[in-house]
Amino acid sequence: MTNLIMAMLIAFSSAPPPDHKDGNLPVSQQARLKESVSANEVDLYAIGIAGGPKKYRQTAAVVDAKKSAVYYVLYLGSDPILRSESEKMRFKQFEQNFFEFENIQKFISYENPEFIDRVAIDKKSRLRVEKIIRVNVGRLKEDLSLLGVIETTQSIVDDIGRPNIMVIPEAPSGGDPLKMLANDPAVSQAAASIESYLTSRRYDVIVPQQNAMLGDMIGQMARLDGIADDPQYKLALSLGSDVYITYKIDVTTRQVGGSTVTKATAAVRAFETATARLLGTETGYSQERPEPPGVIVEEAVKDAIDKVLNRIDGYWKDDRARGLQYRLVIKVSKQFDQDSRNKFTNLIADYLDNNCAQTKENVLSASTLDFLVWVKRDQFDKSRKLADALARSFNNDFKGGELHQLTINRKLILMELK
């Protein structure tokens, strides 16, 4: 623990005792999300409640609203910072000192001077206020990591690397997402907004337009050299991300008086590329007002993407705890008889069971074997190592055919048995 944090805790411990049963925790503990204003800040409708001398009551209620805003970010909502029971237990020893107002204040980026609501309650013995409070979530996470409550993002990155993410619009059946990006300004604006969020959080972003251009370029170069086009390589390019995010934008306009007002809705979903498992889905809305469509679209995207990214962070941590995950797909030649198929299926399944932390059989058919495997990081930190080890073991034990690699791309291993 740094000297700065230690000094902060010593200073807090000398503060006067709180005047209600929950100590320094907020009385209200009520807030709701208004919007994400940046990758590190959120606006909340926060409620504060205070009693005591009447002339100090409003000030105390505003303080309680600020504490409630921070409490919400820590504990409440669909994506709180403190997710696991172990994190909550570690925070418990710092909780009272952490909610000293002098500490809470540094996480408040903005406070709307106007009250949304201000009313006397409990036979006018207490005051209840509601205000818009902006919380700096990024700084809050930094302090929690210094206290050892949550793990720093950098420590996870150092251990497992940073996931690659691709952003593509949701296309109708038979549609081309790249053409949508090129031809629809609202779709392009939404992609830029999501990619901006990702890069500000230091994810590695794969831009699909550039990937497609690279694949076409390599295909053209191969044909010039008399080499056939390589569909496996193009597949590897299209699956070059760990996670992909899809989005759908709907922009409506109408006349209000003499003005044209615009409103946007953004549906954002995140999937694990290798398995197509849904990681998170959210719908964001803009305010209806006379602004250019680009501004309205960006507002709707911001309302959705922050929550989705929190789900990706959760997946990232879970993936680290379970081990590295790979998808193994083996294409099987039709020349094998049923007995041979049973034998090599059992050999492959036994090897995976004996050498992987966990396995899941997705498809075992005459032409395809499809597995999800979780492996120990120190044993198979690259998909190539798992493919090599499996091929060597299998080819030593099975004399009726040969297992070899077709394509390896991060979490996807495509092999052929013939």
d(CA 102, CA 366): 67
Query: Distance between CA atoms of 103 and 82, rounded to whole angstroms?
Result: 18
Cβ proximity of 373 and 385 under 8 Å: no
Are residues 111 and 59 in contact, defined by beta-carbon separation less than 8 angstroms? no
Instruction: Pick 323-417's CATH classification: 1.10.3470, 3.40.50, 3.30.70, 3.30.519.
Output: 3.30.70
What angle, 0 to 180 degrees and rounded to 10, lies between the N-to-C axes of helices 338-355 and 383-397? 130
User: What number is the average pLDDT over the span 327-333?
Assistant: 88
For CATH 3.40.50, list the domain ranges present in the chain.
160-320
In tens, the pLDDT along 283-321 reads 888 888 888 877 888 888 887 887 787 777 777 666 667
Using the predicted structure, report yes or no on whether residue 327 has a pLDDT greater than 60.
Answer: yes
Q: How far apart are CA 122 and CA 172, in angstroms?
A: 55
Q: How far apart are CA 96 and CA 104, in angstroms?
A: 11
Q: Residues 69-119: pLDDT tens digits? A: 999 999 998 778 898 898 999 999 999 999 999 999 999 999 999 999 999
Q: How confident is the model at residue 217 (pLDDT cuts 50, 70, 90)?
A: very low
3.40.109, 3.55.50, 3.40.50, 2.40.10: CATH of 160-320: 3.40.50
* Cα three-residue angle 101-103-105, rounded to 5 degrees: 65
Pick 365 or 67 by higher pLDDT.
67
Region(s) of the chain under CATH 3.30.70? 323-417
> What average pLDDT does the chain have?
81
Q: Which residues pair with 120 in a beta bridge?
A: 127
Residues 253-271 pLDDT 10s: 888 888 889 898 889 998 8
Answer whether 0.85 is exceeded by the pTM: no
* Residue 402 to residue 18: CA distance in whole angstroms: 73
